[in-house]
Amino acid sequence: MKARVLVVDDEFGMRETLVAILETAGYDVSQAGDGAAALATAQSQTFDVIVMDIRMPELTGVEVLASLTHPPPQIILMTAYALEEQLRIARDNDAFAIMEKPFQVPYLLSVVEQAAAAAAA
């Protein structure tokens, strides 16, 4: 059974490459282009892992994280420019990992794999 991953990023290039990389790695990948869409998708479907950018217009990744209730998926946050306050909220809401862009792909894959394993447990 493939783990279900939701990729959320307002940057098309990032979103598309991440989706491609994760599909290649064998995950069942969905995508959302902003925070509101991510929230709607995450509440209508079930995901094991959400890989989400923090800085997005209107609803940030951290706000989406704080709004998600049940069942809580494992959230991996990505940031190019995170504020300390956002990082604190992310940690308080049990984000699985916070990854600084740019990151090496193998590192991402290992983190996603760990998150999926944690979700399955």
Using CB under 8 A as the criterion, what x/- string covers residues 18-57 for binding another protein? x-xx--x---------------------------------
Q: With contacts defined by CB under 8 A, name the span among 29-37, 56-64, 68-76, 78-86 that binds another protein.
A: 78-86
| Count of Cβ atoms closer than 10 Å to residue 106 Cβ | 8
Q: With contacts defined by CB under 8 A, name the span among 28-36, 44-52, 67-75, 102-110 that binds another protein.
A: 102-110
94 in contact with another protein (CB under 8 A): no
3-state SS, one letter per residue, for 51-101: EEECCCCCCCHHHHHHHCCCCCCEEEEEECCCCHHHHHHHHHCCCCEEEEC
Interaction site with another protein (CB under 8 A): 11, 13-14, 17-18, 20-21, 24, 78, 80-81, 100-105
